[in-house]
Structure 1
Amino acid sequence: MIVEDSLVVRRLLSHIVMRDPRLHLIAAVASAEDALQELPRLRPDVISMDIRLPGIDGLEATRRIMSEQPTPIVVIADSVEDSALRISMNALRAGALSVVEKPVGTETDGYERIAETICTQLFIMSQVPVIRRRGPGISRPPLPPPSALLPRTRPSVLAIAASTGGPPALAQVLGALPADYPLPVLLVQHMGSPFLEGFAAWLDGLVPMRVRLARDGERPRPGEVYVAPGERHLLMAPGGVLRLSAEPPLASQRPSATRLFQSVAETAGAQGLGVLLTGMGEDGAAGLLAMRQAGALTLTEHESTAVVYGMPAAAVRMGGSLLTLPLPLIGPHLLAVVREAIA
């Protein structure tokens, strides 16, 4: 189902969807009210959601859909306006799965790339099971012995990565860490390049630490979060400086969680902390294994809270995860780890 108030854009999105053999368009409506009315009857596998709609906007529509009839939602957003970016990020927090750039016209630069991204995201997200709310009776994994919960040496850097479902998960984890958290945080979030600066600004407004895009050659400071920018790998280089690399994508990802984790394993060794959250695919798994083999403490999000248990599951299978925790416990554990190390 397409939800888009502009007739021109609605027709363009319909054209994009209908030409893709993986997708079948069952409705294209002009308002959230129409979408909410048709949803119980049509039961789409995935929804393309505009953000700025007359009446009920896309954010409130996302909240209602996730409450009343949970359905995978892909936000189609204008990538250049701050207000739209903030609403898009909040829609992700409300339950939307991803955000992609809105097409302008068939003759514009990058149209085919944008169209392919939209269709691929709609197809992939249509496979994601979504639920209203996780019940209180979720089983939690048994904790390992206390000695296994602490790093072998005092940590110097935290590397964290996520993909589908990542923005709200990252907000929850980093929101549990204080502004004076004694480690720099290096972050990879899979997201379209035009949205990453807005994502960093959105996250900066939610968590105590300062959050911004990483810059090549800078030395990361404790209490700050450095987000990998679009189409660049974020790496920690010898001497502890950050490097932004244009080397080819790894497993179709740039920035790559695995490349970040590998670089931290090579430079920080046992002083690294690695965290892999919700996401589709296997990015990050091999890199987390490299960190664990270097003596670092490595954590993965438990299946009970992950929107998509793909990347964490791959890390567990490979042996890269020392500890798996439900999302609400990860931030407090990262805080306890550094406090114990300092003590």
Structure 2
Amino acid sequence: MLVEDSLVVRQLLIHIVGRDPRLTVVAAVASGEEALATLATARPDVISMDIRLPGIDGLETTRRIMAERPTPIVVVADAIEDSSLRISMNALRAGALSVVEKPVATTHAGYDAVATEICTQLRIMAAVPVIRRRPIGAEWAGRVAGSTISASSAPTFAWTKAEPPSVLAVAASTGGPPALAKVIGGLPTTFPLPILVVQHMGPAFMEGFAAWLNGVVALPVALARDGERAEAGRVYVAPGDRHLELSGGGILRISDAAPISGQRPAATALFRSLARHAGRRGIGVLLTGMGEDGATGLLDMRNAGAVTVAEDESTAVVFGMPAAAIRMAAAGAILPLDRIAAHLGRIAVPEPRP
């Protein structure tokens, strides 16, 4: 089902989806009210959601759908419209699975890439099972159905005050923005480590994503810049279509090296750099996401003596990346989303060994 108030864009989306033989448009509506009224009869596998709608906006429509008839939702947003982008990010918190760039016109230079990405995301997200929203704390959105709690007990660490942890890296993909907001937002303002973040998202959205995250967590957030020194208590987000890596002396490097498993930025690139330059003083966390990015990098970190954490299946919107890490024994701890921040807070300031 396509939800888009602009007749021109709605017809363009119908054209784009119609070119893909694996997709069928069962309904195309112009408002949130129409979407809610049509949902039960159309029974779509996935919804393309505009955000700036007349009446009930896309954010509220997403909330109601996830509460009443959970369905995978892909937000189609204007990447250069600040207010629209903020709403789009909040829609991800409300249960939407991903955000893609809105098509402009068939004559636009980037049209083919945008059209392909829209169809790809709709096909992928149609296969993600979601359930009625059951918040963890106040903010958790939809999760994969059929999950069970399987959190491991928190391990003990051998850090000393002379050799404390030095850096935290967190990576996510599908379902990542609300998960990152939950984890980073749960850290104290006195958190003593720099936090490096990889989030798979279209390059056009990364600056807006960093600005959005900065507005919903207490710690300062910005896109990482090549050559800057990572400072304690600050969050550095990998820019669009560039790897973020840690180098010697806590210096950040932004790289246009080849994608890893199709991803740039790649979680594995970030985690491997921590394994090399932070060793046992690193902490790596792998959250929800489709695919396997980050798993081998997290294993490198664990083999280097670092603390490693994977999100438990019970809270992961898509249990792909964490599952891959767990299968290869890369995760020293497996925790549900609402326990990760407290876990990190405890281990960031280790007590002295007896």
TM bin (shorter chain): over 0.9
Aligned partners of 1:62 and 1:91 also within 8 Å: yes
Corresponding position of 1:238: 248
The CA distance in 2 between the partners of 1:72 and 1:140, in whole Å, is: 23
- Distance in 2 between residues matched to 1:99 and 1:40, nearest whole Å: 24
Residue in 1 that maps onto 2:313:
303
Match of 1:118 in 2: 118
Q: CA deviation at 1:81?
A: 1.4
Contact 2:147 2:313 in 1 (8 A): no
Rate the CA distance shift 1:110–1:72 in 2: closer, same or farther, 3 A: same
Q: 1:324 aligns with which of 307, 310, 334?
A: 334
Q: Which residue in the other structure is 1:150 paired with?
A: 157
| Counterpart residue identity of residue 100, structure 1 | V
State the distance in 2 between where 1:142 and 1:74 align: 29
1:267 to 268, 273, 277: 277
Q: Secondary structure at the match of 1:324?
A: strand
**1:39 is the counterpart of 2:46:** no
Query: CA separation of 1:205/1:254 partners in 2, compared to 1, >3 Å: closer, same or farther?
Result: same
Aligned sequence identity (%):
64
The alpha carbon displacement at 1:208 in A equals 1.2
In structure 2, the residue matched to 1:140 is 149
Quote how far apart the aligned CAs of 1:134 are: 4.1
Distance 1:132 1:176 in 2: 24
Where structure 2 has 5 or more consecutive residues not aligned to the other structure, the ranges are 137-145
8 A contact 2:151–2:336 mirrored in 1: no
2:260 to 224, 231, 250: 250
Contact kept, 8 Å, 2:150 with 2:314, in 1: the verdict is no
Q: Is this contact kept in 1: 2:48–2:122, CA < 8 A?
A: yes
Letter in structure 1 aligned against 2:346: A
CA offset at residue 305 of structure 1? 0.5
Partner of 1:11: 11
Post-superposition CA distance 1:20-76 (Å, at most 9, x none): 122111111111111111100111000000000111110000000001100000000
Going from structure 1 to structure 2, the CA distance change for 1:298 and 1:47 (only over 3 Å counts) comes to same
Secondary structure in structure 2 of the residue aligned to 1:76: strand
Matches of 2:122 and 2:335, distance apart in 1: 29
Task: Call closer, same or farther: CA 1:142–1:252 in 2, change over 3 Å.
Answer: closer
Pairing of 1:1-343 with structure 2 (within 5 A): 1-134=1-134, 139-141=148-150, 143-144=152-153, 148-150=155-157, 152=159, 153-341=163-351
Superposed CA RMSD in Å reads 1.6
**Matched position secondary structure for 2:349:** helix
Partners of 2:246 and 2:214 lie apart in 1 by 22
Q: Secondary structure at the match of 1:103?
A: coil
Structure 1 segments of 4+ aligned residues over 6 angstroms from their partners: 135-138
Q: Distance between the aligned counterparts of 1:183 and 1:300, measured in 2? A: 19
1:164–1:280 CA contact under 8 A, matched in 2: yes
* Shift, 1:151, TM fit: 5.3
Bigger drift between 101-110 and 132-141 goes to 132-141
Separation (CA, whole Å) in 1 of partners of 2:76 and 2:22: 19
AA aligned to 1:20 is D
**Structure 1: 5+ residue stretches without partners:** none
Q: Distance in 1 between matches of 2:194 and 2:97?
A: 27
| Partner secondary structure for residue 239 of structure 1 | helix
Note the C-alpha offset of 1:180: 1.9
| 1:261 to 1:132, Cα distance in 2 relative to 1, 3 A | same
TM-score (norm 1): 0.96
Aligned residue-pair number: 341
User: Following the alignment from structure 2 to structure 1, what is the Cα–Cα distance between the partners of residues 156 and 269?
Assistant: 25
Instruction: Label 1:142 to 1:169 Cα distance change in 2 as closer, same or farther (>3 A).
Output: closer
